[in-house]
Amino acid sequence: MFKKQFAAQGQNLLSKKDLKTLKGQLSELFPGLDEKTIDVLLPEGQAKVVKLDNRCLLYSAGDAAPVFFDAEGRGELYPTMHTLWLHPNMMLELTIHPPVSKFVLNGADLMLPGVLVPANGVAGFGTVTKGQPRCIKIEGNPYPIAVGKMLVNQSTMEKLKGKGMEVMHVYKDTLWGFCGKAVPNAGFSEMEDEVTPCNDNSWKPGDAAPAAKASTPAAEDASSAEPAAAAAPATSAPAVPSAVRGSCGAAGGGRAADDWTQDDLLDFTFMQAFKLSLTDEKALPIEASDLYDKHMKTA
């Protein structure tokens, strides 16, 4: 939706009647937002609509970052990343493995084989309907990376095959840039091509960009000069493979590799498969048996 640059064609303040109608739609679509919260996001007398040259409508308060958008000017409303990071639990979600995020960030729609099944099985997805708005999160990070609409119904969703969601707005697209290019935690800034796990959920608008781990030679030299006691435990243990490290933790909850559970090992081999052998978007979708036999076993 926002892969290309866009331009504003006009704007105007919302009338009381139009604002009331809009707030009613938002309350129905996003029950996780109460009336008071919506009033804060779109205060009367300040709420305005901006019409773009791609048929999209942006809703904001004064000169603040847009908080919602209407994808094609037909009442199909979604929150911006800015709003989702303010209220990360405002809507239904799907969770994916971190390496899958690079495909979404590159503009691909979400393929169902990359979706994590909740602990209580497919019932954990809740009721799925075609056209339903949902956001996408990665495992291990509380902030959404994208928002879109479901392309499947409940029965198709349970098969976990094919394309499942059309992505309407994603971190790093042109709407994100228009909203100020904020990032909610270090998981969004450490790597260029994917979002990584980070449990920091303290973001507020206006916060400085979280500092990512330095990777320059000078930084590495400075790091190695720190006291050994501060850099590692007294008893040496195998390092967690760098492929599964994020700025805020490691696979297996930060435990040494030889302490991983079977689930930790499966998570690691899954992520390695996407990092090493399933690097081409055309490789998806893939049957679960092929993923395990041809890619995870060799990771």
> Of 6, 57, 9, which Cα lies nearest the Cα of 68?
57
Instruction: Give strand pairing partners of 59.
Output: 49, 68
Q: Are residues 126 and 73 in the same domain?
A: no
Let me know the angle formed at the C-alpha of 296 by 290 and 299, rounded to the nearest 5 degrees: 140
Reported residue count of the chain is 299
- Whether residues 30 and 107 share a domain: the answer is no
Tell me, what's the pLDDT at 252? 45
Note whether residue 195 is domain-resident.
Answer: no
Per-residue confidence (pLDDT) for residue 143, from 0 to 100: 98
pLDDT at 229: 37
Tokens 């092929």, located at residue:
290
Distance CA 23, CA 15 (A): 12
Looking at the structure, do residues 180 and 108 belong to the same domain, yes or no?
yes
Going by their DSSP bridges, the two strands 133-138 and 93-96 should be labelled as parallel
**CA-wise closest residue to 75 among 14, 24, 17:** 24
Q: Which of 136, 165, 188 is the last residue of a domain?
A: 188
Query: What is the C-alpha to C-alpha distance for residues 101 and 97, in angstroms, rounded to an integer?
Result: 7
Structural domain total, the chain? 2
User: Are 75 and 14 members of one domain?
Assistant: yes
Residue where a domain stops, chosen among 173, 188, 203: 188
Does residue 20 share a domain with residue 74?
Answer: yes
pLDDT at residue number 218: 41
Give the domain CATH number at 94. 2.30.130.10
Asked if 51 and 103 sit in the same domain, the reply is no
52 and 99 fall within a common domain: no
146 and 58 fall within a common domain: no
Closest to 167 in 3D by CA, of 178, 186, 151: 151
CB-CB contact of 174 with 4 (8 Å): yes
Same domain, 37 and 113: no
Would 70 be classed as within a structural domain?
yes
Give domain status of residue 278, yes or no. Answer: no
With respect to residue 93, please indicate whether it lies within any of the assigned structural domains: yes
> If residue 146 lies in a helix (H) or strand (E), which one and from where to where?
strand 146-150
Q: Classify residue 143: in a domain, yes or no.
A: yes
Residue 272 lies in a domain: no
Helices (H) and strands (E) in the chain, counts: 10, 10
> Does some domain include residue 163?
yes
What is the C-alpha to C-alpha distance for residues 231 and 239, in angstroms, rounded to an integer? 12
Per-residue pLDDT of the chain (299 residues; tens, 9 = 90+): 898 999 999 999 999 999 999 999 999 999 999 999 999 999 999 999 999 999 999 999 999 999 999 998 889 999 999 999 999 999 999 999 999 999 999 999 999 999 999 999 988 999 999 999 999 999 999 999 999 999 999 999 999 999 999 999 999 999 999 999 999 999 998 567 899 999 999 998 866 666 554 443 443 444 443 433 333 333 333 333 333 334 465 444 444 445 556 566 666 677 777 777 777 666 776 766 667 667 766 76
Q: Given CA atoms 11, 16, 20, 23 in this order, what sign does their dihedral have?
A: positive
- The CATH number of whichever domain residue 53 belongs to comes to 3.10.400.20
Assess whether 181 and 98 both reside in one domain: yes
| Residue 55 belongs to a domain | yes
Q: What are the structure tokens assigned to 49, written together?
A: 């609509």
Beta bridge mates, 68: 59, 79
pLDDT at 268: 67
Report the 10 Å Cβ neighbour count for 288. 12
For residue 70, give its domain range.
Answer: 8-79
Whether residues 75 and 144 share a domain: the answer is no
Tell the burial category of 227 from Cβ atoms under 10 Å away from its Cβ (0-12, 13-18, 19+). Answer: exposed
From CA 22, how far away is CA 75, in angstroms rounded? 9
Q: Which of 156, 188, 220 is the last residue of a domain?
A: 188
Residue 109 CB burial class (10 angstroms; 0-12, 13-18, ≥19): middle
| Same-domain check for residues 72 and 98 | no
